[in-house]
Structure 1
Amino acid sequence: MPQISSASHSGAQNHTVLKRSLGLWAIVGLGLGYMTPTTVFDTFGIVSDETNGVVPLAYLVALVAMIFTAISYGRMTRIYPSAGSAYTYTSQTIHPSLGFLVGWTSLLDYLLLPLVNALLIRIYMESFFPDVPAWIWVVGYVLAITALNLWSMNSTSKINGILVVFEVVLIGVFIVLAWNALTHGDGNGSAFTSAPLFHDGVDASAVISGATVVCFSFIGFDAITMYTEEAKDTNTVPKAIVLALIIGGAIFFAAAWFGQSVFPTLDGFENTDDTLPEMALKVGGEFFKILFTSAAFAATVASSLSSHASVSRMIYVMGRNGAGPVSRFFSFVHPKHRTPSFAVVFVGAVSMLAIPFTLEFISSMINFGALIAFTFVNLTVVVLFVFRRKEFRTPRQVVTNIVLPVVGMAFTGILWANLNIDALTYGVIWLGIGIACLLVMTRGFRRPINVSMREEDAVELDGESVTA
């Protein structure tokens, strides 16, 4: 299978490319690691209060909303098997300059997620060791995550897989303990009740607002497209997108269902901003609280590995398609480890900002870029299949090429309407910086941006991919 090659940092004739080492379940695991399944317990109190006690319904609405966008991602990654995701799709179907801006705005979220994870680890460790300077935890943690991503994508995916399995097993244990508590009359007294989905006092607008909060728990299925150039078979990537979304959605829904059944109200909770420790304590005691907190720690590490890996691939592709020393720097692939090493190091450097910044400040900047990416991936389906290929003459084509992506954009529009004002403000500022960069790069739009898949130039030589 032909590979997508990169520009060489050294300018040599033969170029190193990313190594195709990821199978279907390795990619699914990376997506699940990015999504952080234990987050359902961290945000349970916030969402339960927002929705008046129907957290599972909020997750169900969010899952339905994301399915439409996931379908669009799956279709576009078949057409353009590049690691650039929304950046590549927009560049190829609409215009390279617009694609750059989509990629630029997406970078805001993708770069901040590894930073958020480093911040969370800093907070965890500070709570255990308050006398140790916070910067030590950030530096040590970021260096470890960066080193793993530099070493091998295969090793990164294996470690991520172990961590994901650990947290999912602990979530399963929570469900068993919750079931036991229900059989003893706690909470609703039974798991077989409609109360977690509907009861008196539930308002549709409140559910949508809650769905907006939990919807971003699903961010990660889209990042799977970043591993397209490292998949053993690119045809597995669309399957991995859907599988990660469905599996993640099922975990979120089941955990939320049993959590809401045992805790129909927040009475008795001391801290409703992060309910995970107390939920574990109440269903399983002190020992299970320690285990479940360690699962949350493992989930954060898994998210760090996968989010760090995905954003470095996006930076690599954007660098590969650019020109000049900055682009050559980011398009470099290590000849031995076959990882985009300079892009990986850059993401690590950005993550060091977890030392001075607070979680509240960084969190307020997230979600703008993700919504930009979701909107344009759905739009590219319409542009490609309707306006360019003219595939809208049969009922099936109308449904797949118009209805599904338009519904996806409509759901994204609902999320836009509920976007935090700080995220919108910082997102617009970031977009303005991107426009300024684009004007400089294109000399006022007089010089086009090069966007090439480069697959046509790649050949296989003794099992290694090089550029002819």
Structure 2
Amino acid sequence: MPNPIDAEARTGPVSTPTGKGLRGGSVGLLGAVTLGLSSVAPAYSIAVTLGFVTLIVGDLAPAALLLGFVPILLTAFAFRELNREMPDCGTTFVWTTRAFGPIVGWLTGGWVVQIATLIAMTALSQVGATYLLQLLGLHSLASSSAAVTITAVVLLAAVTSIAYRGLHLAASVQYVLLGLQLAALLGFGAAAFARDGAATPSLAWLNPFAFGDLGSFAEAVLLCLFIYWGWDALITANEETRDGDRVAGQAAVISTLVLLGTYLFTAFAAISFAGTDAAGAGLGNPDNAADILSTLAPPVLGAAAAKVMELAVCVSAAAALLTCLVGSSRGTLSMAGHGALPRAFARIHPRHRTPAFGTLFFGAAAACLLVLLRLVSVDFLGDAILCIGLLIACYYGTTALACVWYFRGRLRDSPRDLLLRGILPLLGGLTMLAAFARSAHDMYDPAYGSTSFHGIGGVFLLGAGAIAAGILALLTARTRFHRFFRDGRTTVAELTVTED
């Protein structure tokens, strides 16, 4: 049977380097959707989130998943429209710079995105390493902080080498990894529905008006935002995608819809089988919340098949790591190409046509950050992961509003433009910024997360600290990259630096 990537590549034009030196036409729509889904790590995301959502809202978890999807979909429309107008692998950096100027673009479209991704990579490598050791039967090592950290660094090195060799190879690997995840989740759901005693799913579980109070509703929806985050990484491959100005945007919307269907199916199946009781295997049991699929897989699938679910979560983390590296290195490639970062980030490997320096830099940076946070405290690492939600809401909201502002002069051209470039992105942006404010309020509480300092939550300090560090980095960058910060919006309309 022929390789689907090879077959897909043969149907399109011959791959040629783009203006930044990337290999154009490396993937099509299917490959772009696969990259987007893989970056979200669906098996891992639903495993570690569904239990916590159920603890808050019980059997209304599917309703929370649905409501959390709404601002994501609205934001996806903004990404699609901006990508059609400005197909650049820098995505949010380029778009927010064109709309709001270089300061906002560098900070929210560049720094915040890269820091959120870097922190996420530490979490994904740790999760992947833990599951890998468990799968190999090395349970004593899986409970050892040092062993997990060493394995995580090795895992980072492996995915960095794949990302270094090119998007074509990365997409080929992602087909296999994503296929395993979706097959495991669908198999789990089908088996759970078929088990004796499983409750009949109810449409009442999707009722958005049944939440008891606004606080629990907001908290559950904020948790759900996290499990959809990452699909936008596929758009950073727009210069390597055939018809990237059109296909990458389509892939963004398709991937979010596939995620919604997969998550709702899994949530309905888990609630039908286990219920929301606070004892035993119930989803309301706090002891099960951290990884609900590991708890339910053995009674649903049997001990042997449950190993497949563990494997799915492991490869889910690895697949997301790979896409994070692909996205981050291309984001900094664009920033360097437009004169907003050192020239080294614009270097392209002469044979693989990948951002060689950027790929190695982010692989090494994630490894160093993981080791540093582990040395400080395991709790500190956990709180660093929790602060990602604040960063996500910040740059998603800013990008959605950038769509409205950039197209403001054309919103009256047609009903389509008014809806897809104005109303929907505006609603998405305002919702995301409201989520940002709510997240900041909740994280300020010293009881939020595992650490605090002088009565202020450690999660808030890490999130706000990451943004504050970005402001300091911005001030430093302004002294070095004069043309970018002087000429503003015009610098991202052309390449200032090309490959060495």
TM-score by length of 1: 0.87
Written as runs of structure 1 = structure 2, the 5 A alignment for 1:366-381 is 366-381=388-403
Q: Is the 8 A contact 1:62 1:215 kept in 2?
A: yes
Written as runs of structure 1 = structure 2, the 5 A alignment for 1:185-224 is 185-186=197-198, 188=199, 190-191=200-201, 193-198=202-207, 202-203=211-212, 205=214, 206-224=216-234
Q: 1:436 to 1:289 in 2, by over 3 A?
A: same
**Are positions 1:295 and 2:312 aligned together?**
yes
Partner AA of 1:345 in structure 2: L
Q: 1:383 to 1:198 in 2, by over 3 A?
A: closer
The aligned residue for residue 46 of structure 1 is 52
Q: 1:20 to 1:74 in 2, by over 3 A?
A: same
Partner AA of 1:304 in structure 2: L
Partner AA of 2:129 in structure 1: R
Deviations 1:4-47 (A, max 9, x none): 523xxxxxxxxx33443011111100111111121213322211
Distance apart, 1:336 and its partner CA: 0.4
Distance apart, 1:216 and its partner CA: 1.2
The aligned residue for residue 292 of structure 2 is 275
Partners of 2:248 and 2:480 in 1: how far apart? 37
Q: Is the 8 A contact 1:105 1:368 kept in 2?
A: no
Partners of 1:105 and 1:304 in 2: how far apart? 18
Distance apart, 1:87 and its partner CA: 0.8
The aligned residue for residue 232 of structure 1 is 242
Range moving further from structure 2, 217-226 or 241-250: 217-226
Q: What secondary structure, in the 3-state scheme, does the structure 2 residue paired with 1:237 have?
A: helix
Q: Is the 8 A contact 1:18 1:333 kept in 2?
A: no
Q: What secondary structure, in the 3-state scheme, does the structure 2 residue paired with 1:249 have?
A: helix
Q: Is the 8 A contact 2:337 2:496 kept in 1?
A: no
Q: Where in structure 2 are there 5+ consecutive unaligned residues?
A: 1-12, 282-286, 445-457
Partners of 1:426 and 1:221 in 2: how far apart? 24
Q: Where in structure 1 are there 5+ consecutive unaligned residues?
A: 7-15, 459-465
**Structure 1 or 2: larger helix share?**
2
Deviations 1:164-222 (A, max 9, x none): 001101111111111211xx223x2x23x235335998425223321210111111222
Partners of 2:481 and 2:240 in 1: how far apart? 33
Partners of 2:89 and 2:164 in 1: how far apart? 17
Partner AA of 1:264 in structure 2: G
Number of matched pairs: 442
Partner AA of 1:350 in structure 2: A
The aligned residue for residue 339 of structure 1 is 354
More relative contact order, 1 or 2 (CA 8 Å, 6+ apart) = 1
Q: 1:284 to 1:371 in 2, by over 3 A?
A: same
Partner AA of 1:404 in structure 2: L
Q: What secondary structure, in the 3-state scheme, does the structure 2 residue paired with 1:335 have?
A: coil
TM-score by length of 2: 0.82
Range moving further from structure 2, 124-133 or 309-318: 124-133
Q: 1:452 to 1:417 in 2, by over 3 A?
A: closer
Partners of 2:431 and 2:493 in 1: how far apart? 30
**Are positions 1:24 and 2:29 aligned together?**
yes
Q: 1:313 to 1:444 in 2, by over 3 A?
A: closer
The share of aligned pairs that are identical, in percent, is 22
Q: What secondary structure, in the 3-state scheme, does the structure 2 residue paired with 1:65 have?
A: helix
Written as runs of structure 1 = structure 2, the 5 A alignment for 1:346-361 is 346-352=361-367, 353-356=369-372, 357=374, 358=378, 359-361=381-383
The aligned residue for residue 244 of structure 1 is 255
Partners of 1:455 and 1:79 in 2: how far apart? 17
Match 1:152 to one of 166, 176, 189: 166
Distance apart, 1:430 and its partner CA: 2.3
Partner AA of 1:224 in structure 2: L
Q: Is the 8 A contact 2:69 2:224 kept in 1?
A: no
Q: 1:402 to 1:295 in 2, by over 3 A?
A: same
Distance apart, 1:447 and its partner CA: 5.4
Written as runs of structure 1 = structure 2, the 5 A alignment for 1:50-449 is 50-102=56-108, 103-125=110-132, 127=134, 128-129=137-138, 130-131=140-141, 133-134=146-147, 135-181=149-195, 184-186=196-198, 188=199, 190-191=200-201, 193-198=202-207, 202-203=211-212, 205=214, 206-234=216-244, 235-266=246-277, 267-269=279-281, 270-322=287-339, 327-352=342-367, 353-356=369-372, 357=374, 358=378, 359-386=381-408, 389-392=409-412, 396-419=416-439, 420-421=443-444, 422-443=458-479, 448-449=484-485
Distance apart, 1:279 and its partner CA: 1.1
C-alpha RMSD over aligned residues: 2.7
Q: Is the 8 A contact 2:132 2:311 kept in 1?
A: no
Partners of 1:444 and 1:148 in 2: how far apart? 33
Partners of 1:157 and 1:218 in 2: how far apart? 20
Partners of 1:249 and 1:75 in 2: how far apart? 21
Partners of 1:66 and 1:199 in 2: how far apart? 17
